[in-house]
Amino acid sequence: MDLNLSPSELGFRDGLRQWLADNLSPHWQADFAKIEGKQAQFEYLRAWQRKVYDGGWAGIAWPKEFGGRGASIIEQVIFTEEMARAGAPNLPGVLGLQLVGPTTITHGTEAQKEQFLRKILSGEEIWCQGFSEPNAGSDLAALRTTATLDGDHFVVNGQKVWTSYGWAADWCELVVRTDPDAPKHKGLTVLLVDMKSPGVDVRPLRQMTGETEFNELFFTDVRVPVANVLGKVNDGWNVAIGTLMHERATLGAGIQIVIRRSFERIVELAKSIGKFTDPITRQKLAQCYADIEVMRLNQMRAYSRMANGGTPGPEGSIQKIFWSELNQRFQQIAQEIMGPYGQLTKGSEYSIDDGIWTYNYLRARGNTIEAGTSEIQRLILGHFVLGLPKSY
């Protein structure tokens, strides 16, 4: 074990620091807070992603020929750390960057890589993940959206649900059933679907936060060129699982930035309202700090393992359980520190940070459901990592 950065890793880090100093507006958060509406906020973040891309900092570990930097996963870790340190905005094309891109690098044809990867990095094209259906959530392989071959196209019919960023997406990584007669894991195929295709209907779905961040997608006779099959026909389970492994292993990296930034804000707040001298508050904050550190270290180790062995495996569920449950604990602690002020929502002159904390509290509730529930993650660890008998 050697946690010292090599000279070239140091050079990478210093270069990035310099770039951030030159390009990240110190008052971006205040600017961002003034933007009304999720679409406009999304565009702000998209412009930031474009800047990161133009600066050569997108897709650190992606191949150079597709717009990446061709560096290692260690540089990717450094990148995440530095973005957190600088309090930089999130990259909004997160599903493309962390899920669809890596899956395409593994399974895509040269033409698909050529067509999609750069635009994922630049934020020019936003992706969503069309996996879950009304009757296929935890049991994803039970999905019923069908695709039948008609000449050089698949014709898609069915419904997806809980599709995050469906409203913003240009493309969808869609899992469909292509062989209804095969056992349920064997007849699936992944299609890359243009969301502007005729027959795609995106409907808003309101979350408990009050927002419509996710959507329902309806597909009626949607024609998708055969060239847009990702991986092999009827091998879609394998491809989709690859995406899910990335989701579990790496989504936490982005969340980590957000949690650490929020944590610093809560510490500052606790100090400013005189609560930091309270021993109970100090204990809670210190415990939270320790948890966040452990999450970071867990992630560093997982990334190092990936740097040696390639794609993430089922042990990624450790990251998923850790970040999702940590965020819920953290939001609760934040509430406890704010006391009755914590419940106030946007638009009250008395609310703290214009009510973002009530939103964060509610939003965190979804963390142990999205990207596979905590129950399913525990079953994966029990069965696929620990080798215990399958329980269902």
Ligand X SMILES: Cc1cc2nc3c(=O)[nH]c(=O)nc-3n(C[C@H](O)[C@H](O)[C@H](O)COP(=O)(O)OP(=O)(O)OC[C@H]3O[C@@H](n4cnc5c(N)ncnc54)[C@H](O)[C@@H]3O)c2cc1C
Q: Does 109 bind other proteins (CB under 8 A)?
A: no
Are the C-beta atoms of 17 and 64 separated by less than 8 Å? Answer: no
The residue within the footprint of ligand X, chosen from 41, 106, 328, 373 (CB under 6 A), is 373
For residue 139, the minimal CB distance to other proteins (Å) is: 4
Residue nearer to other proteins on the CB measure, 21 or 280: 280
**In the bound complex, which residue of the shown chain has the CB atom lying closest to ligand X?**
137
The one catalytic residue in 81, 133, 173, 247 is 247
The residue within the footprint of ligand X, chosen from 370, 383, 384, 385 (CB under 6 A), is 370
**Which residues between 169 and 228 bind other proteins (CB under 8 A)?**
205-208, 210
The verdict on whether 82 is a catalytic residue reads no
HEC letters along 92-135: CCHHHHHHHHHHHHHHCCHHHHHHHHHHHHHCCCCEEEECCECC
Task: Count other Cβ atoms within 10 Å, centred on residue 137.
Answer: 17
For 62, the 3-state DSSP assignment is: coil
Which partner in other proteins, ligand X, none is near 336 (CB below 5 to 8 A by kind)? other proteins
Q: Does 375 bind ligand X (CB under 6 A)?
A: yes
For residue 363, the minimal CB distance to other proteins (Å) is: 9
Q: Dihedral of the CA atoms 170, 96, 148, 235 (nearest 10)?
A: 170
Whole-Å CA distances, 53 to 10, 67, 91, 323, 381: 21, 8, 10, 27, 36
Residue nearer to ligand X on the CB measure, 74 or 99: 99
Q: Binding-site residue total for other proteins (CB under 8 A)?
A: 48
Euclidean distance between CA atoms 392 and 381, whole angstroms: 14
Segment (H or E) for 215: strand 214-225
Strand 153-164 versus strand 214-225 pairing type? antiparallel
Cα torsion angle, 318, 71, 117, 238, sign: negative
For residue 370, the minimal CB distance to ligand X (Å) is: 4
Q: Binding-site residue total for ligand X (CB under 6 A)?
A: 20
Which partner in other proteins, ligand X, none is near 226 (CB below 5 to 8 A by kind)? none
**Which residues between 126 and 185 bind ligand X (CB under 6 A)?**
128-132, 137-138, 162-164
Are the C-beta atoms of 86 and 57 separated by less than 8 Å? Answer: no
The residue within the footprint of ligand X, chosen from 5, 267, 369, 385 (CB under 6 A), is 369
Catalytic annotation, residues: 247
Residues of the shown chain interacting with ligand X in the complex, contacts defined by CB under 6 A: 128-132, 137-138, 162-164, 214, 366, 369-370, 372-373, 375-376, 379, 392
